[in-house]
Chains A and B, each alone.
Chain A
């Protein structure tokens, strides 16, 4: 099997040097030998699902759930709207790969296999960082292989596990909340995920607990044509506070990859939850993710959604404001380079009185890239005094760059105050000229302006992510002149 894999795994995406700067390529374009003891057959059918469930040793109800989800997916079919997904062929995708490492046993960084650590080093995650970071759940292929949770949290009763272990160790909590926020009926890709999900994070924060250091999970995609279907479930009890950070970056491959996650968050009364993610998949990944939070009375939910990589991304983090005084926030940044289509956005459903929401979207299109904002604001009857504001700014760097804005606003309540604004502009020549007159090279000037454009979102990120984002923007902007 090993020879097999190496034989059909070319080292580099043919357009890699066009897609990203040279340094970027050096840093990310590598592959490590792959050792698996189980990989599903290509394609999706009931047999594959039964095998996944068998290998995971799941309870019967989960297998039934998966099979029902498959039925729903088959009935629904892919959506007719949105970006071109014709390059996505299910027949050609492995829906499950189990790494050799047995999950959940690694307790310290030293226990992590050398090749995985090598991967992290090449990605620029310093070893020292993991000591600072509270707990690192790293997803190597389709399962969590590494977990480190600070002892005090264990004492506080915080659960931070990979989702498979969560199901095994906390079945009662799991069953109560799983698929209640995003049922498989919700959309086609959520149904596919429900059928084949594997890995992801399971977070439970008991009432009143303030998790002051962010919970983080690094994700990796490292086998050709692998399907990555993480399923994250975050439950934050009344009065508790948590910040979850997911960052992903993947080596480049030559055949299309498919990533379709489902993130479910339950933010109970008076809780405060933030979920931050920056995805930087290689430019051949189809990234179709459903992210949704149920927000109860006076709770506050914030999504920070950064989309830099992938070939096509469709991702619309949403807040269902179902409790009186609930607040939802979405900050979205998208960078679409050559050949990329970032179809990002936000959804906010106001279903209770005195709910408020704010959406800020910043997108940049470069070369032949297309970025879209697709959004929905819905105010239900009876959701009195709801307030919502949406702002979308798009920056177009080249003549061939494209941007789209599709905001849907549905209002069923007289006392609602809803606003939406969007602007489209190009890089300001006067600003570039000024910076050049101060001694900056043209591409430096452009990168500086782009970073300034993203500043309102970047400043909401934890420092190390803001630094990483700035570095990525610099790399993307390199060689953009002439």
Chain B
């Protein structure tokens, strides 16, 4: 059994350099040091750990990676330019290898803050201090402790009470060299405010191997509404470790979509805590693994309060000896009566070499609830393929259409037209639909 090992470059001395470079205030420096202590005290996950038993751990190893100190080039790459032009987002930050290299923002609403996280620590210290580490901290696990200690930069969004940000905001995280990079997104939306945010991870292929650790914290005040998209389309030499944790106040609503189509290996953990009665959380996921890609998606719907609603739908397709894990749990605390919680995972297996694992779980501690889950795994339905062929379609065209349609159900539940089109193009390119690759 392969085991993960420490990286000597992640030392207390290295952390002091990070603190000095960012001119962190004392409280943040202390938080980082405490996180490093937790990191050191936490063992690396092994296959004996229930949450990691299906994870190919070596593909997330950080042992020989050096923390990156900015990109090789501070120029915004052609790829990112194209993506920026084709994005639903109107306010955009670009992070490359842990440094922010571009900011474009067209925000009309007053009081809205949209900046990189380091600047926010300096310019809006009180708000950042109140919410940073409030949903993802060092105790969330080994990799999250690593991020909590060493995060280089990230995105900060703040929307004051009763403000609805009309145009979506977003950030592109990219890289042009290998190593270890860590980013963080902090989104704070006050009472009855509203925002849409797109976190996109994308890169061309480059030399070396990159491990990117991402953490997204979303804090929703009473009645707040957040739509959040995490789109991972890294180059094939990247391992991506991502945790999204949201906490919802009374009657708040979250719509989160996590898309995994790139990278070598990716793990997405999506956690939602219904703290306020009447809050609603819709958590969607889409993944398409090919050519040996390895994806993990772990969801948590935690119902602390009564009368809340949550719904998870994760759909994925696999081919070419790839491997995907979906594991989700609905936890209903004692007293969280009138909970409405659902969970669905559907997998499409396109060849015999691929493997899908599905573990939809329930842990129910209140009796007046409606909870259900479902999971299906199977091939492209033969009758549907037959029907399309009877209408004159070639078999491969029928398959392309059915796979795209299967996955599109998820995208269609989020009204982000450009993102939806882009994901569809990526899926088609992976399927080998002629003429699509050029448009990416």
Contacts and interface: CB of A to CB of B under 8 A. Distances in A.
Interface of A: 80-81, 381-382, 394, 396-426
A411 B377 contact: yes
A188 to B, nearest CB: 14
Contacts of B369: 396, 424-426
B357 A410 contact: yes
Contacts of B418: none
Nearest to B365: A402
Nearest to B366: A399
A415 B377 contact: no
Nearest to B361: A406
Contact of B367 (A80, A405, A426): A426
**5 smallest A-B Cβ distances: which pairs?**
A396-B367, A405-B362, A409-B358, A424-B371, A420-B375
Interface in B360-376: 360-376
A418 B326 CA distance: 15
A81 B351 contact: no
Given A410-B355, A421-B373, A394 B364 contact: yes
Contacts, number: 117
A416 B366 contact: no
B43 interface: no
23 contacts: A382-B352, A396-B367, A399-B334, A399-B335, A399-B337, A400-B334, A401-B367, A405-B361, A410-B355, A410-B357, A411-B349, A413-B349, A414-B352, A414-B354, A415-B379, A416-B377, A416-B378, A417-B376, A418-B378, A421-B375, A422-B362, A423-B372, A425-B370
A425 B366 CA distance: 10
Contact of B376 (A80, A81, A412, A418): A418
B372 A424 contact: yes
A81 B379 contact: no
A409 B354 CA distance: 14
A406 B359 contact: yes
B65 interface: no
Contacts of A413: 349, 352
Interface residues of B, number: 38
Given A400-B334, A418-B378, A411 B357 contact: yes
Contact of B374 (A397, A401, A420): A420
B347 interface: yes
A424 B364 contact: yes
Contact of B370 (A406, A418, A424): A424
A406 B335 CA distance: 22
B378 A417 contact: yes
B93 to A, nearest CB: 39
Contacts of A405: 360-363, 373
Given A409-B358, A413-B352, A415-B352, 16 more contacts: A396-B369, A399-B334, A399-B335, A401-B367, A404-B362, A404-B364, A407-B361, A409-B359, A410-B355, A410-B356, A411-B347, A414-B351, A417-B377, A420-B360, A421-B374, A422-B374
Contacts of B429: none
B117 to A, nearest CB: 37
Contacts of A400: 334
Interface in B326-345: 334-335, 337
Given A414-B352, A415-B379, A417-B378, A81 B50 contact: yes
A401 B359 CA distance: 23
B350 interface: yes
Nearest to A420: B375
A415 B357 CA distance: 15
B364 A396 contact: yes
A384 B298 CA distance: 28
Contacts of A422: 360, 362, 372-374
A60 to B, nearest CB: 36
Contacts of B366: 396, 399
A340 to B, nearest CB: 15
Interface string B377-418: 111000000000000000000000000000000000000000
Contact of B362 (A80, A408, A412, A424): A424
Contacts of B355: 410-412
Given A81-B50, A409-B377, A414-B379, A404 B372 contact: no
Nearest to B358: A409
Contacts of A394: 362, 364
A421 to B, nearest CB: 5
Contacts of B367: 396-399, 401, 426
A417 B364 CA distance: 28
A401 B357 CA distance: 30
A422 B376 CA distance: 12
A81 B373 CA distance: 22
Contacts of B364: 394, 396, 402-404, 424
A416 B357 CA distance: 13
Nearest to A389: B376
Contacts of B377: 409, 411, 416-418
B238 to A, nearest CB: 26
Contacts of B379: 414-417
Contacts of B50: 81
A43 to B, nearest CB: 28
Interface string B42-75: 0000001010001000000000000000000000
B358 to A, nearest CB: 4
B347 to A, nearest CB: 7
Contacts of A411: 347, 349, 355-358, 377
A30 B368 CA distance: 38
Contacts of A412: 352, 354-355
